[in-house]
Amino acid sequence: MCVTQHELLICGGIRNRDCYSYHILTNEYKFICSYPSNIKLFGYCVVKLIDNKNSNEITLLSFDGFFKHTLIMKYVSAWDNDNEINKSKKSNNYNEWIHFTDNHNYPIQIGRDKDKYEGVRAMIGGSDNNLILVCLI
């Protein structure tokens, strides 16, 4: 779960790959997207990257130490009704989970292939929020 200005983002769960936004002021839910069909969620963690450059967009990372996924989502509020922003969401892959890759376009994986971690936790820190600490349990 992640928090934005007036939203709680609920990102999947065991046997549920759907992600929703809960609007705090209106007490309503809105579907955002689903995790890709080949992704299983078990002991995963979602963190929000801090970026003050674009206040209309946040970046989410999703880690799983058991099934070894690392995904990224550029999120723009599901509650914004501006048609230009909605067109931009579709054309720029906003509000969908995609594999987080390195400079050579290889998916980034947490842990070794043979390791099966029951859970993973992560946090962002550092003076410029440029460090990520990933703890495998």
Stated pTM of the model: 0.78
- The larger pLDDT score, comparing residue 60 to residue 90, is at 60
Mean pLDDT, the chain, as a whole number? 79
Residue pair 56/85 in contact (Cβ under 8 Å)? The answer is: yes
- Average pLDDT of the residues in 91-107: 87
Retrieve residue 49's tokens: 């990257």
Pairing of strands 44-49, 57-64: antiparallel
Phi-psi region of 55 (alpha: psi -120 to 50; beta: other; left: phi over 0): alpha
* Angstrom distance (rounded) from CA 122 to CA 62: 9
Q: Is residue 3 over pLDDT 70? A: no
Q: Is residue 92 over pLDDT 90? A: no
The three-class DSSP label of residue 89 is: helix
CA 59 to chain centroid: 7
Retrieve residue 126's tokens: 């550092």
Retrieve residue 93's tokens: 């892959």
Instruction: List the chain domain ranges.
Output: 39-136
Q: Is residue 89 over pLDDT 60? A: no
Residue 32: partners with Cβ closer than 8 Å, 6 or more residues away: 9, 19, 20, 21, 75, 78, 95
Phi-psi region of 100 (alpha: psi -120 to 50; beta: other; left: phi over 0): beta
Q: Which residue has the tokens 């963190």?
A: 47
Q: Is residue 54 over pLDDT 70? A: no
